Structure 1
């Protein structure tokens, strides 16, 4: 058999971000949505520089930087050659890289004095600037001045886009003008520095390392350690200095020297930075945006019935955002107020900033329920939000559990225990995505609500294990239905692939269809390669990183990989195995990344209900054969419009 080969994970991720960028160049996408894809691309790239680039810089890898430079050139061409002309055809002039037109100079100056000027804090660029700290991912302008006596001076001026809007509209009789905040500042620099001649002004941005290096300290819990580290997260070393390409080397290195940026990558970007702010670009109106897709109702609960009684009758599957998230919120609300409910257990990884789910947990605790919440404080960039909610829940009487510093709990699960006569019945929630009503509006995920005792008895074992705080595999625990990383998940998936290999080698029908966010772990990839070489047809839908190389002769010619990018972020993880026509389907929280397999608690669950299993297989087929998300929406809308036995 041919030895396995693997793609570079960072270049693979950058190819995903390039796929996002190509949507901004897609003429079939509404204009404002194209601009939003530019914002998503920029936000993704900022995170890459904050998290991955420090590692690449340390290793001396330059391939990623070259790829980014090529993508940035494409980015600029999309704006200048495609989007700006389209706007001008509608009498909208986006003053991108252009001076403020004289026709709106007066109202621009008035806005500067009335609003913008109050937020500006110029700092001289000289030896004394060493006391000044350029903040992470904030915008600045390097302003070059000349006095009447001929002396030259330089100032660093903040661009306060974190305090006031980034874009402003100005209307004339026949044209609407849209300006960046930094261009308004640049237009009025002579008013900010009276008595000086403005020789130039150049936009800058500094990106800093955002990794949180947590260390266990005897006597301190992780919440205390994390809270202290969060205070210094944005004080990390600079990984990148973005500057306007026409800025002189003399000016550039004066900033580098003054701000102590000698270790940072110096990158000549575009004229504007932090273009994730394009998500707030002021372009309204139906023609410019996606046509709304009101979510359909996945389950209809009769007026005098309860969601819990519906779950006891039959498993319920919710496919967000095509279907409404309301049943998930109702699940927790019923748990909080049902007098027969005795206990609620839940894992929280990324919760909404104003979470209704957490509010329901607090209510449940105040109503005398035994409420346990496993809060993952190390969810990157959500640490502060999760810490806030953990403190609030604890004050309400919720028992808070934290994972240890070296392990993340990434599972998306909940368990409710309810008295039913003389016995106790369990109701459960298992999901592919976070318990977050905000992201459920644009992340495609799947939530199973079930009363299946086979699944829920094992779910209770897992919660007991998490509550004990050991977080190392316990040989006394046995999971036959749930797949849980650090216990049986990797082995189970390897065995499922091997079963398809055995079928193919015996001349029986075989096949594997898997949908993931990321695919990196080499033993699982190697097993997929082995399956391909045995004749198993393998179809992969991988949104982001994919270290598997498809279509390689003698290695992976039976493997195809597609990527879906559209109005929704593909987030669900689904694993379908043909099994000689007796298809088995699993879903869950686990990507096939090293971190998911080895350093997290993940949960994948089988779909035992035949009707729901067939529905998931149908969705997979539609996604693989027709990547248009609208087809999925119309299909589910039609399904729920049909008469229902319930």
Structure 2
């Protein structure tokens, strides 16, 4: 179908991707401000915000700084106006968010904890009744990890590690002043120290403050005049050449070891350090390209994840995962899947069903081969152990292991070595192209015939993240899907650097590098044709991120043609909804709740016979152009209706959902008569259905 040009490309509105991501992180921060959220969960959202921001400085800030230096921006900010400097706007947004962070913590969360006899000592002296105990803790435990270093012109023997905490001390001894750098060993000791007071209040002290209060023990003949905290954040990207010598496993191992010695992107410091001392630090630690930023009294508040108080009355009520046994599985999982597909929804469902699938595959005498893609492997993965067991049991096991999964490289390398030693055949992606697909195939020999069973998923085969991320897993024995899946595994084994779509044809699967983008364009074109013919036409899409220009332009075109487009986008969203004459029929929602929304689902009206696809691919440049991704159709009519029902629940959410407006603001959904928290509704629906089965 010939594509219609609706408007000149230079007039197409696009949000900047990094400003959009900062809008998402602000939504996380707003969850910490919500008084309906229990206090300890609000602390958790503050920790998530802080962790997210650290990653932004490690991954995206180097890009913004580079674009700023060469006078180029990644794209129009569209309806929010062309920014003179996206870098400066990002810094301004971060500064405002940091102020909000402090306000939420000090005027909302901490007073609430105090009312419940939990007192986090935040910029406060330790109570006298704690003094003896914390001094003993300092002298018996903390002191062993402290390494004071005098600031000098030549600091070649000292390297501040990425995101590690330090104190800058001004020490006066014999009339001579010097600056001393002292580490805060929060990677070796707990960041927080609890103390039960006589009146029943639990005091929580920062490790930082225990050191501040006892630092005199390090300088018995000197006076410590000031003590201010700082940290350095470093570029996290691994530099992998397109061509390389030797084993990729060894290369990744070496590069991961060097990562934390990358160039500094941010020097965050407690206010009060004099300009001349800051200049000395900048020169000593080669901070010429780093942003010098005043911050709060404490850094790395992502450590609030390890806050040492666990009280049910201050936490969300835990949801017990629903057992997943849709057919009353009493015999083999594979026999049941030969009869019908199954659709699994973690974390609402217990992950035991997936572990059972791989454990049965490892021990079932009929199973001859197992194929799987692994992107992020759990640190103590039962699933990976099942693959090792399968190889030891004589099965032919092939794992496409992505060694370049950011921040999980070291863990994946560890498991690669274990699986390789057990006889698992490992396939690594070519250097410039990640394999992000979530697929598995099991082949059985039954009465001389070969049978296929497999998993097609939206999220990683990782039992740890499956307890935190909402995803969907299709369990199926449909030959038409699984033969194409096997074909992709065969193709990946060739490790070709150039993927030629003419070499392989996928009729059912949508595979990035082959047909994924074009098939989505064709599906949107079909809705456009229906709308122009005066027929109902609609699209509902749920993704983590929406960035890629060609597909966004097609969504704009569909809106102008009369297609109703409902988007649920958790993070980056470059499309601008509600622009008159451009995107009137587009709405964008964002949901942030107790679980991280992670599933990718695509629903097309298709003349009243809905088409439902799910898969691993967001509509981002990296997913479309630089990764192997797989999206797949849901063919079972009942399961198709199930997915439509779940997305309709999310479209009704008025508790955890917001609209993204034309200024990148998170606008609460107006509450109708009945409050709807979609995650609660989905859990209740799945649980009640199980009880009624």
2:152 equivalent to 1:102:
no
Aligned counterparts of 1:345 and 1:580: Cα–Cα separation in 2:
37
**Cα pair 1:416 1:427 within 8 Å, conserved:** yes
Report what 1:480 is aligned to. 507
Deviation digits for residues 221-273 of structure 1 (CA, Å, limit 9, x no counterpart): 32232222122111111111100023222332232232222221101011111
Aligned counterparts of 2:211 and 2:146: Cα–Cα separation in 1:
9
Query: 1:98 deviation in Å?
Result: 1.6
Report what 1:408 is aligned to. 434
Aligned counterparts of 2:25 and 2:633: Cα–Cα separation in 1:
32
Q: Which moved more, 1:548-557 or 1:213-222?
A: 213-222
Report what 1:540 is aligned to. 567
**Cα pair 1:299 1:316 within 8 Å, conserved:** no
RMSD (Å), alpha carbons = 1.2
Report what 1:516 is aligned to. 543
Aligned counterparts of 2:281 and 2:206: Cα–Cα separation in 1:
23
Aligned counterparts of 1:232 and 1:282: Cα–Cα separation in 2:
32
SS in 1 for 2:540: strand
Aligned counterparts of 2:603 and 2:327: Cα–Cα separation in 1:
30
Aligned counterparts of 2:30 and 2:428: Cα–Cα separation in 1:
40
Aligned counterparts of 1:29 and 1:218: Cα–Cα separation in 2:
50
Aligned counterparts of 1:97 and 1:561: Cα–Cα separation in 2:
41
Report what 2:673 is aligned to. none
Instruction: Give the alignment partner of residue 364 of structure 2, picking from 338, 357, 368.
Output: 338
Aligned counterparts of 1:593 and 1:304: Cα–Cα separation in 2:
42
Report what 1:50 is aligned to. 58
SS in 1 for 2:288: coil
Structure 1: segments with no counterpart, 5+ residues = none
Report what 2:296 is aligned to. 270
Instruction: Give the alignment partner of residue 416 of structure 2, picking from 390, 393, 397.
Output: 390
Superposition pairs for residues 196-207 of structure 1, below 5 Å? 196-207=222-233
Dislocated runs of 4+, deviation >6 Å: none
Query: 1:633 deviation in Å?
Result: 0.7
Structure 2: segments with no counterpart, 5+ residues = 1-5, 69-86, 658-676
2:359 equivalent to 1:351:
no
Q: Which moved more, 1:171-180 or 1:442-451?
A: 171-180
Aligned counterparts of 1:562 and 1:516: Cα–Cα separation in 2:
11
Query: 1:302 deviation in Å?
Result: 5.0
Report what 2:403 is aligned to. 377
Query: 1:483 deviation in Å?
Result: 0.3
Query: 1:301 deviation in Å?
Result: 6.2
SS in 1 for 2:34: coil
SS in 1 for 2:345: strand
**Cα pair 2:546 2:575 within 8 Å, conserved:** yes
Deviation digits for residues 505-542 of structure 1 (CA, Å, limit 9, x no counterpart): 10111100000000000000000000000111100000
Aligned counterparts of 2:333 and 2:438: Cα–Cα separation in 1:
20
Task: Mark the CA change 1:218 to 1:524 in structure 2 (over 3 Å): closer, same or farther.
Answer: closer
Q: Normalization by structure 2: what TM-score?
A: 0.91
Report what 2:241 is aligned to. 215
Aligned counterparts of 1:217 and 1:549: Cα–Cα separation in 2:
39
Deviation digits for residues 407-437 of structure 1 (CA, Å, limit 9, x no counterpart): 0000000000001112100001000000000
Report what 1:112 is aligned to. 138
Task: Mark the CA change 1:270 to 1:302 in structure 2 (over 3 Å): closer, same or farther.
Answer: same
Aligned counterparts of 1:150 and 1:206: Cα–Cα separation in 2:
31
2:647 equivalent to 1:620:
yes
Query: 1:172 deviation in Å?
Result: 1.6
Aligned counterparts of 1:211 and 1:304: Cα–Cα separation in 2:
48
Aligned counterparts of 2:487 and 2:41: Cα–Cα separation in 1:
45
Q: Which moved more, 1:301-310 or 1:556-565?
A: 301-310
2:460 equivalent to 1:434:
yes
Report what 1:503 is aligned to. 530
Deviation digits for residues 467-503 of structure 1 (CA, Å, limit 9, x no counterpart): 1222512413111100000110000000001100100
Deviation digits for residues 128-164 of structure 1 (CA, Å, limit 9, x no counterpart): 43321111110000011112x3211111000000001
Query: 1:90 deviation in Å?
Result: 1.9
SS in 1 for 2:368: strand
Report what 2:612 is aligned to. 585
Deviation digits for residues 268-327 of structure 1 (CA, Å, limit 9, x no counterpart): 011111111101112211111110100112225657511111111110110010011111
How many pairs were matched up?
A: 642
SS in 2 for 1:135: coil
